[in-house]
Amino acid sequence: MTELYHWFDLIGIAVFAVTGTLVAHEKKMDGFGVVVLATVAAIGGGTVRDVILNVPVFWLHDQSFFYAILAAVFITSRLINKQKSIPHYTLQIADAFGLAFFAVMGTQKALLAGMPHMTAIIMGVITGCFGGMIRDVLAREIPMLLKGELYAITCIAGGIVYTLGIYFGLATELAMVLAMLTTLSLRIAAIKWQITVHVFNYPD
- Domains of the chain, by residue range, sit at 2-193
Residue 46 or 149, more confident: 46
DSSP symbols for 71-136: HHHHHHHHHHHHHS---TTHHHHHHHHHHHHHHHHHHHHHHHTT--HHHHHHHHHHHHHHHHHHHH
pLDDT at 199 over 80: no
User: What per-residue confidence (pLDDT) applies to 89?
Assistant: 86
Give the pLDDT score at 99. Answer: 96
pLDDT at 68: 97
What average pLDDT does this structure show over 37-53? 97
pLDDT at 65 (0 to 100): 97
**What is the average pLDDT across 153-160?**
97
